[in-house]
A and B are shown apart, each in its own frame.
Chain A
Amino acid sequence: MESDVNNFVINIATANGTGSQSSNLIILHSMFEMGVPVSGKNLFPSNISGLPTWFIIRASEYGYQAPGDKTDIQILMNKDTWQDDIDKMEPGTVVIYNEDVKLPVERDDCIVFSMPMTKMARGIAPKFAKMMANMYYVGGLAYLLGIDIKDMEKAVHSQFKGKEKAIEMNLRAIGEGITHAEDNWENKTTFRVEKIEKNPDTYLIEGNEATALGSIYGGINMLAWYPITPSSSVAEGIIKWIPELRTAKDGGTTCAVIQAEDELAAVGMVIGAGWAGGRGMTCTSGPGISLMSEFIGLSYFAEVPGVIWDVNRVGPSTGLPTRTQQGDLSMLYEASHGDTQHIVLIPGTVNECFEFGWRAFDYAERYQTMVFGFSDLDLGMNRWSTEGFVYPDKQMDRGKVIYTQEQLDSIENYGRYRDVDGDGIPYRTLPGSGLDPILYRGTGHDEDGVYSEDPAVYQKTMMRLREKIEGSRDNLPSPVIIEEEIKEVGIIFYGSMENTIGEIDDILERTGLSVSTCRVRALPYHSNLEEFISKHDKNIVLEMNRDGQLFGILRKELPLELLSKIHSVAYSDGMPPRARLYSEKILEVLEEI
């Protein structure tokens, strides 16, 4: 039996735009401050205010970060989802509700507490009573769970940085909430938080801010972006940090930021920047990638570097704009018409968001092509723990750029698109250099960059492009492999599934299976992956989409003899993965094999 200390799931049901995010983050941060392994997920609607929002906080002594398969403590604040939230509760759930919603909670099988939250809030801030009411469930929770008030104070200060009046009022509300609970509630619950020695290096940060910082340390020179959920906070992160980190001696900036008129223009600017010898980037989500696709083909064919971050939301079409998925992978890998293939970097942690943030530019310039960073809403917009970002371990790689006449003269038979080194990567000169100028084009071109419709020339160019990207495989981030001695089941997965895989692994191993895991971190996939597959009896390709997109890519590219060893488990409902649900799906497939 699992202990109830530092192991529980809180579900907070509120309405969007009522300020509950501050309350929820204060709970999250104060538990984090106590050293409790904790994670928070914001399940929000595509709406500015009024629609239902749930915030899920999970404490787990095992470090599980998935939202959990059941709710232990339910906070009820939203009249619109009231009955629905109540109906979903399992017997024994602890409930805290706002009396002022004036709706009943008829569940004798649950442990129910209440407080007149709005009325009490009116006493502190009559105008903001609706928002302030959210601080009272913070107080109630602090009482029930035993959250250290000192740690909570620190979290409030962090949330309202320097706004003394807000800090004072919110602390008062929390205090009143605690007092009310002490006076009126009989605490017969078993869920508690207990202080653990906290690693002083750790802090919580959103994946998107990590990506933003990584890009800045990668030497980004131009960000062109068009707002879209859930990627906007990558751009906002860059905008926030460049004055401090990227101001030149003359006071000017070394990173231009343009809010473009649309995604078509944003990616056009990235290509213009790459062509001119700079490091250009955009960030977007699925609908943006669809719009950018024509330009992505130009980048591939004319061999112009650029970086696009895709923070995946649920497609197709506008889909579920505020929910998470791994549904863009196959589109990224082969974006644009004709034969194309693109490098895709897939972080699974905030540290990798940072690392791939800077590495993406090196790969783009090394391979003279568009490089994708592939994150998702869950990783990008939720806060995750890190021990701190690690400074790049190598200098920027600007790739094969010719800067001087001497360099140019030293290359025998130079041509912009001639493969002189035998690795498929040609040399390039930059506009403004006067060195062997050509007219770049998306039309057919020969090795000197001159227009050509010659069948042999076209075919040779396309084969070289394939060889060039093919050559990147083993230079890209290699898979993270955790192998068991008995090579029974191998799980191949990627991206934010990293935050659930440990729990899935534990659930599966409890059934007696021996489970190894392999997290793919880039496409085209590293050769280590084939070795992993060949070693394991049965391999499951686990992903958050309907069709098994990585599975499809593997089926196309793996050697024939390995195909019978891979099996797809793909499931997507917009929610971050719940470990039990995905484990059951894996077990079903394993049974069928």
Chain B
Amino acid sequence: MSILKLNVIDLDKSEYKGGKSSLCPGCGHDQISNVIIQAAWENGLPPEGIAKMSGIGCSSKTPAYFLGKSHGFNTVHGRMPSVTTGANMINKDLSFIAVSGDGDTASIGIGQFIHAIRRNLDMVYIIENNGVYGLTKGQYSATVEKGSKKKKGAINSQNPIDLCAMALNLGCSFVARSFSGSKKQLTALLRAAMSHKGMAIIDVISPCVTFANNDESYRSYNYVKENDEVLHIVDYISHFSPLEEVDIPEGQYREIELFDGSKIVLETIGSSHDTTDIVSALGAVHRAESQNKHVTGLLYYNGELPTATETLGITDTPLSKLSLEEGRPTPASLDLINQRFRDIN
């Protein structure tokens, strides 16, 4: 007998599902879509309050496959951040969940990625990072490791762009890396990102099963599984149900309270990582890179940064909900302006 399981706003998980995926069977991106569904449902986000944003590419098709009851916008290549910025200005109450690829983010849209971070746009920015351009049949992207080789073609000889390192350098308020095969870790990180106010970046290594799942690729399932350097075990405790998942880890752990009162618990494995220290986070990224490993976990967190709409001093009512009168100044104000110009002329 199956019992309908409801979340904190009494919705079944099916309310968070989307259409059928048209990606290759076994694609890491589909696993990320499932985690998005799971995390949004567990966090009890109202689907109508979410806006799904994406650019162009395999990853950017996925908003059709999750959160079918939310509005979304599949924009143009690499320029999802600017569309999200505009939408955020107009309705800051929306929860923006964006997916993007490494072609989108590390090449054509790298400028928009950088500037969205600088503004601390209030959004969750998931990079589905597979190191190749899938839809155009498997060219290398700019994030692929030097020395890695995809199924067909030469070994990549250029230095990679590490998007987490870049985000850290720019002072991004929430920087994490995960692996599409680590469902538990990714779910906890994503739930925390959804509870964060400001720009939350999760760079998810997501192997391309068609073009780069061969043994010589540093992005294959087997390679990533064996070379995943996990910083800490991540647990998420929601503010509305603090007892739900409490499983206080033994040994050393760090607890971080997020904007909505939820908490993320990081249980140390090996040497302890300080998530308030950008330099230490950059060190972890670069150390792993030098050994051709992928460091995963919450790299950096800062809950104090003002968001873009706060910095700009936008009024509390979302601008999309202003009355006609609030949008247009009065006739008297125009008379005054005309008069002032006349007086100085």
Give residues in A with beta carbon < 8 Å to B.
Answer: 29, 32-33, 158, 161, 200-205, 213, 216-219, 221-222, 224, 244-246, 248, 250-254, 256-258, 260-262, 264-280, 294-295, 298, 358, 388-389, 391-392, 395-396, 398, 429-434, 437-443, 451
- Encoded as 1 (CB less than 8 Å from any A CB) or 0, chain B from 322 to 345 comes to 101011110101100110011011
- Say which one of B87-95, B170-178, B201-209, B276-284 lies at the interface with A: B87-95
Q: What would 9 A/B residue contacts be, using CB atoms closer than 8 Å?
A: A222-B89, A253-B315, A265-B82, A280-B89, A388-B338, A388-B342, A437-B48, A437-B69, A440-B72
Residues of A within 8 A of B112 (CB): 261, 264-265, 268
Q: Within 8 Å CB of A254, what residues of B?
A: 314-315, 319, 322, 326-327
B76 at the interface (CB under 8 A from A): yes
A203-B345, A391-B331 known; A222 vs B63 contact (CB < 8 Å): no
- Residues A256 and B111 in contact in the complex (CB < 8 Å), given A272-B90, A431-B71: no
| Complex interface: chain B residues within 8 A of A442 (CB) | 74-76
Interface of B is mostly: helix
Partner-A contacts on B (CB < 8 A): 46-49, 51-52, 63-64, 68-76, 79, 81-91, 93-94, 111-112, 114-115, 119, 309, 312-320, 322, 324, 326-329, 331, 333-334, 337-338, 341-342, 344-345
Cβ A256 vs Cβ B71 within 8 A: no
Which residues of A lie under 8 Å from residue B338 when comparing CB positions? 201, 203, 388-389
Q: With A268-B82, A432-B94 in contact, is A278–B89 under 8 Å at CB? A: yes
With A33-B345, A396-B324 as contacts: A432 and B79 at CB distance below 8 Å: no
> Quick one: closest B residue to A277, CB to CB?
B320
Instruction: Please judge, given known A-B contacts A201-B342, A438-B71, whether A430 and B320 are in contact too, CB under 8 Å.
Output: yes
Residues of B with C-beta under 8 A to A430? 71, 91, 320
Chain A residue, CB-CB nearest to B331: A391
Contacts of B314 in A (CB 8 A): 252-254, 256
Contact B48 A268 (CB under 8 A): no
Out of A158, A268, A439, name the residue touching B64 (CB < 8 Å): A439
| A257–B89 CA distance with the chains assembled, in angstroms | 9
Contacts of A278 in B (CB 8 A): 86, 89-91, 319-320
> Which residues from B are CB-within-8-Å of A280?
86, 89-90
List of 6 A-B pairs having minimum Cβ-Cβ separation, nearest first: A272-B86, A434-B48, A268-B82, A252-B315, A278-B90, A219-B327
> Which of A244, A272, A298 has the most chain B CB within a 10 Å cutoff?
A272
Q: Assess the B71–A432 pair: CB atoms within 8 A.
A: yes
Question: From B46, which residue of chain A is reached at the shortest CB distance?
Answer: A434
Point out the residues of chain A lying under 8 angstroms from B93, CB to CB.
432
A221 to B342, CA, bound (A): 28
Complex CA–CA separation, A472 to B115 (angstroms): 37
A282, closest chain B residue (CB): B86
A246 to B322, CA, bound (A): 12
Nearest residue, chain B, Cβ from A264: B79
Least Cβ distance of B102 to chain A in Å?
19
Closest A residue to B118 by beta carbon equals A261
Say whether A217 contacts B334, CB under 8 Å: yes
A292 vs chain B, min Cβ distance (A): 11
User: Is the CB–CB distance between B71 and A295 below 8 Å?
Assistant: no
Give the shortest distance, in Å, between B59 (CB) and chain A (any CB): 14
Contacts of A392 in B (CB 8 A): 328
Contacting residues, chain B, for A433 (C-beta < 8 A)? 48, 71
Query: When A395-B324, A396-B327 are in contact, do A161 and B344 touch as well, CB less than 8 Å?
Result: yes
A272 & B82 in contact (Cβ 8 Å cutoff): yes
Q: Is the CB of B341 within 8 A of A205?
A: yes
**Chain B neighbourhood of A224, CB < 8 A:** 82, 85-86
**B87 adjacent to A389 (CB under 8 Å):** no
- Kindly list chain B residues whose C-beta atoms are within 8 Å of the C-beta of A276: 51, 86-91, 94, 320
Cα(A381)–Cα(B232), bound, Å: 60
Sample of 19 more A-B contacts, CB < 8 Å, known A257-B312, A269-B85, A437-B47? A158-B344, A200-B342, A217-B334, A219-B327, A248-B317, A252-B314, A269-B86, A272-B89, A275-B83, A276-B94, A278-B91, A389-B337, A392-B328, A430-B91, A431-B87, A437-B69, A437-B70, A439-B52, A440-B73
CA separation between A336 and B344, bound complex, in Å? 44
Cβ distance A417 to chain B, nearest Cβ, rounded Å: 15
Expressed in whole angstroms, the Cα–Cα distance for A212 and B74 within the complex equals: 31
Contacting pair B87 A275 (CB below 8 A): yes
B319 touches which of A29, A202, A221, A298 (Cβ 8 Å): A221
Of the residues B115, B313, B328, contact of A261 by C-beta under 8 Å? B115
Question: Which B residues are in CB contact (< 8 Å) with A264?
Answer: 79, 82, 111-112
| B70–chain A nearest beta-carbon distance, Å | 6
Question: Chain A nearest CB: distance from B266 CB in Å?
Answer: 33
Establish whether residues B64 and A256, one from each chain, have CB atoms under 8 Å apart when the complex forms. no
Q: Give the residues in chain A near B47, CB-CB below 8 Å.
A: 434, 437
A269 touches B82 (CB 8 A): yes
Residue from B74, B89, B317 within 8 A of A269 (CB atoms): B89
- Pick the most buried of B48, B319, B331: most chain A CB atoms within 10 A of its CB: B319
Assess the A271–B86 pair: CB atoms within 8 A.
Answer: yes
In the bound complex, residues from chain B placing their C-beta under 8 Å from that of A434 are: 46-48, 69
B319 touches A440 (CB 8 A): no
Residues of B within 8 A of A272 (CB): 73, 82-90
Q: Are A432 and B345 in contact (CB under 8 A)?
A: no
Q: Could you tell me the distance between the alpha carbons of A260 and B71 in the complex, rounded to whole angstroms?
A: 25
Q: List, in ascending order, chain A residues with CB within 8 A of B90's CB.
A: 221-222, 256, 272-273, 276-278, 280
In the assembled complex, the CB of A197 is this many whole angstroms from the nearest CB of chain B, namely 15
User: Contact between A432 and B74 (Cβ–Cβ < 8 Å)?
Assistant: no
Question: CB < 8 Å: which of B73, B83, B319 contacts A222?
Answer: B319
Residues of A within 8 A of B82 (CB): 224, 260, 264-269, 272
Cβ of B166 to closest chain A Cβ, rounded Å: 15
Bound together, the chains give a CA A220 to CA B341 distance in angstroms of: 22
Closest chain B residue, CB of each to CB of A252: B315
Beta-carbon nearest neighbor of B339 in chain A: A388
Chain B residues with Cβ under 8 A from A270's Cβ? 86
Kindly state the separation between the CA atoms of A256 and B322 in the bound complex, as whole angstroms: 13
Quick one: given A213-B337, A222-B86, A272-B90, are A250 and B329 in contact (CB under 8 Å)?
no
Q: With the chains together, A358 CA to B333 CA distance in Å?
A: 15
C-alpha spacing A260/B51, complex, angstroms: 22
Across the interface, do A29 and B345 meet the contact criterion of CB distance under 8 Å?
yes
Instruction: State the Cβ distance, A497 to closest chain B Cβ, in Å.
Output: 25
A275–B333 CA distance with the chains assembled, in angstroms: 30
Name the distance in Å between A353's Cβ and chain B's nearest Cβ. Answer: 14
| Cα distance A257–B119 in the bound complex, in angstroms | 12
Neighbouring A residues of B331 by C-beta, 8 Å: 391
**Structural contact, A268 and B345, CB atoms closer than 8 A:** no
Contact of A439 among B72, B76, B320, B342 (CB under 8 A): B72
Instruction: Determine the distance from Cα of A395 to Cα of B324 in the docked complex, in whole angstroms.
Output: 8
Given A221-B89, A437-B72, residue A250 in contact with residue B315 (CB < 8 A): yes
Query: Could you say which residues of chain B place their CB within 8 Å of the CB of A388?
Result: 338, 341-342
Question: Which residues of A have CB within 8 Å of B73?
Answer: 272, 275, 439-441
- CB neighbours of A203 from chain B (8 A): 338, 341-342, 344-345
| Partner among A219, A246, A253 whose Cβ is within 8 Å of the Cβ of B312 | A253
Question: Cβ of B72: which chain A residues have Cβ within 8 Å of it?
Answer: 437-440
Once bound together, how far apart are the Cα atoms of A295 and B87, in whole Å? 15
Known: A158-B344, A256-B309. A432 touches B328 (CB 8 A): no
